[in-house]
Chains A and B, each alone.
Chain A
Amino acid sequence: MVHGEVWTAKELFVYPNEYIYWTIQIVMYPFMTGLVAGAFVLSSLYHVFGVKQLKEIARFSLVFSFALLPVAMMPLLLHLQFPFRGIEVMMTPHFTSAIAAFGIVFTTYGMIVAAELWFVYRKYFVETALELRQLTGRSVTQQFRYVLYSVLTLGAWDISEQALEKDERAVKLLAGTGIPVACFLHGYAGFIFGSVKANALWMTPLMPVIFICSAVVSGIALCIVTYIATMEIRKALHAWKQKSSPALPLLDEMKSAELQVVTMTARYLVMFLILAITLELLDLIFRGYTAVKSWDILRSVIYGKDFVNIFVIQYGMGNLIPFFLLLLPRLTIRRAVAGTLLVLLGVFMMRWNVVIGGQAFSSSFSGFMHYHLPIWPDNLETFKEGLFGALLVAITPFVLFWGLNKVIPVFPVKDTH
């Protein structure tokens, strides 16, 4: 079997070598990268622009952005025919290729987030390490934690007022530089598609901008959902623990998600959502208005074959409904969850319609290709590029976030920035 043959169905005249080569992993790739960039932009709103209401979600989204970071690479690696050669993109970059530049931007961005996190949590590292140092007869876990936190301080033990002020300035600077890099990171993901001149659907200079806007939308949406979910889970867990041992005190910080934080964040979400939809519609109208050679086949895909995916799921369920859900007065947590989940669906479908929709027609402009998502894998290829591969990518950031939370607690335990 040729790569791509399993999940591609052809119709009318398609060049013999044409198959759906970019599958669900390439849908996951801009989706996950978008989440990274979006989460970071959200945290920067507090750190750089001083939006005080977002303080609580800012640190949360910064850590979450870091947890998402390695996952942005994962779909690419799962998609490569030679995953072990993937590192060559960094070792022998070919600078006329958008993917090669992506690797560099991605690393830069990763370092910025890591550095920012370090400055945010430095005080916590030092305090925890000092606390553990005082303990005599440390257990194995305590010893491990002591070594870990001592290493994490990187030798900077000074937590005087002035030192912490310096930290704060560094955070602000890093968050400031991070915003353009985050936008660049995702703009590049859009550029990878927008610069493929052979593909009539992708070939538009608007692609990077559209991708950035929807990235911010999806990132903020995911942060809201995860924020609410973790807050509720923590509360539920604590209540459950209390039931078994009633002696446990009622902790103040075990509160529900704060509605005012959610409302404020939702407002930013809607703002970016409007921007994203406007640009997408502009692109669509412009294509129809100019109606160049490719418009005939594009129209048959957009208004015919992909109508449900584009207009019903993406624009209807993913944009229009959440728009009302989030904007109508007296927002509740439940409605916010429903709205943001739909927004996530909308952004995912936008990626799907770009990646899969872009391959739905042949470069001969006279045939079509359909992608049948492999569900139950029968070999490595159908696993990697099928439903389970995508789920693996989707679950990983939450596992990483859980692990990170063990080392750098996201929720207010001690006062950090």
Chain B
Amino acid sequence: MISRRNFCKKAMLFIGGVAVPVAGLEIFNPQRLLAEKQDPAKVRWVFLVDTRKCVGCGFCVRACKLENEIPYDANVSRTWVERYVVTRDGKVHTDSPKAARDGFTTKAIDQAGKGMLEIRDEDITKAFFVPKLCNQCENPPCVQVCPVGATYQTPDGVVLVDRTWCIGCGYCVMGCPYGVRFFHPVYKAAEKCNFCYHRISKGMKSACVEACPFGARTIGNIKDPEDPVTRIIMTERVAVLKEEYGTKPQVFYLGMSKEVK
């Protein structure tokens, strides 16, 4: 009769013996080796926002909501537009009512719980609009912190979320310094802008770019030197948001002001 000690020993040997060839199958996957040998990607999607052209009409926000099935009245959005009003006393007033879905319909600043703030025209020193969206970081903290790998980065640089795999812990929402992530009101999974990956990968423009009547939003491929977006990024003075976090954001801004947060 087999002794318990012997049984344990043999079981361990068997498991070990089976594990080695199974692991080998993964290590020597020839297709993957071939794919990795070649240049992994000829495309790296980047976004260019010209804040000087944005008028805060909110067409982009509306287009995004409809395209990406984010419930129209839900108080979350994949993209939004911020309004900045700087007054004579140096104060910065910012708002984005309903993510600017309907544009800015009043001059008063929406201070959420603190009500509306009326500012006299003569007190204003400068005012402008800044569209925001996922920065598709080169070093995305959301991908780093996702405990199950439901958030991942494609070889062309776009960060995607697998709704069927997300456990909904909210770690990625907390990890994003740009506050672009939220929970989808219907699917309950983590959600964010993905540059309309389903469109750009078919050669179309993203919904917000398509909807912008002033050309404030453009999308391009930074690996293509002939791309007009690449040319602007390479030759003009562009800025990114919150550079200090080391996320290497890939949404570039033209005409950025120091007040932008």
A contact residues vs B (CB 8 Å cutoff): 1-5, 9-19, 21-22, 76, 79-82, 85-86, 88-89, 92-94, 96-100, 103, 155, 192, 195-199, 293, 362-367, 370
B99 touches A16 (CB 8 A): yes
0/1 string, B87-110, CB within 8 A of A gives 1: 000001111101100000000000
Selected from A16, A81, A199, A370, the residue in CB contact (under 8 A) with B188 is: A81
Using CB atoms, name the residue of chain A closest to B178.
A363
Can you spell out 5 A-B residue pairs with CB atoms less than 8 angstroms apart? A10-B113, A21-B170, A94-B146, A94-B149, A364-B261
The prevalent SS among residues of B at the interface is loop
Using CB atoms, name the residue of chain A closest to B261.
A364
A11 touches B112 (CB 8 A): yes
Interchain CA distance A367-B82 in the complex, whole Å: 14
Selected from A5, A98, A366, the residue in CB contact (under 8 A) with B75 is: A5
Interchain CA distance A97-B92 in the complex, whole Å: 37
B106 to chain A, nearest CB (A): 16
Selected from A81, A97, A196, A199, the residue in CB contact (under 8 A) with B168 is: A81
Known contacts A14-B112, A197-B141, A364-B179; 10 additional CB pairs below 8 A are: A13-B96, A81-B168, A82-B168, A89-B147, A192-B171, A196-B145, A196-B175, A198-B141, A198-B174, A364-B261
Interchain CA distance A94-B144 in the complex, whole Å: 8
B167 touches A80 (CB 8 A): yes
Chain A residues lying within 8 Å of B76, measured Cβ to Cβ, are 2, 16-17
Chain A residues lying within 8 Å of B244, measured Cβ to Cβ, are 293
B147 touches A97 (CB 8 A): yes
Chain A residues lying within 8 Å of B239, measured Cβ to Cβ, are none
Selected from A79, A99, A195, the residue in CB contact (under 8 A) with B147 is: A99
Chain B residues lying within 8 Å of A18, measured Cβ to Cβ, are 179
With A18-B179, A155-B4, A365-B261 known to touch, is A11 a contact of B114 (CB < 8 Å)? yes
Using CB atoms, name the residue of chain A closest to B110.
A13
Using CB atoms, name the residue of chain A closest to B172.
A97
A22 touches B177 (CB 8 A): no
Q: How many A-B residue pairs lie within 8 Å, measured between CB atoms?
A: 150
Chain A residues lying within 8 Å of B185, measured Cβ to Cβ, are 1-3
Tell me if B230 counts as interface (CB < 8 A to partner A). Answer: no
Sorted nearest first, the 3 A-B pairs with minimum C-beta distance are A81-B168, A15-B179, A198-B177
Chain A residues lying within 8 Å of B95, measured Cβ to Cβ, are 13
Interchain CA distance A196-B146 in the complex, whole Å: 12
Interchain CA distance A195-B142 in the complex, whole Å: 12
Chain A residues lying within 8 Å of B179, measured Cβ to Cβ, are 15, 17-18, 362-364
Residue of A5, A88, A103, A370 with most partner-chain B CB within 10 A: A88
Selected from A13, A192, A198, the residue in CB contact (under 8 A) with B176 is: A198
Chain B residues lying within 8 Å of A19, measured Cβ to Cβ, are 182
A88 touches B174 (CB 8 A): no
Chain B residues lying within 8 Å of A195, measured Cβ to Cβ, are 145
Tell me if B74 counts as interface (CB < 8 A to partner A). Answer: yes
With A88-B148, A366-B261 known to touch, is A79 a contact of B77 (CB < 8 Å)? no
A2 to chain B, nearest CB (A): 5
Chain A residues lying within 8 Å of B171, measured Cβ to Cβ, are 97, 99, 192
B92 touches A17 (CB 8 A): no
Q: For window 51-73 of chain B, which residues contact chain A by CB distance below 8 Å?
A: none
Residue of B74, B80, B148, B173 with most partner-chain A CB within 10 A: B148
Using CB atoms, name the residue of chain A closest to B75.
A2
Using CB atoms, name the residue of chain B closest to A96.
B144
B94 touches A366 (CB 8 A): yes
Tell me if B217 counts as interface (CB < 8 A to partner A). Answer: no
A351 to chain B, nearest CB (A): 15
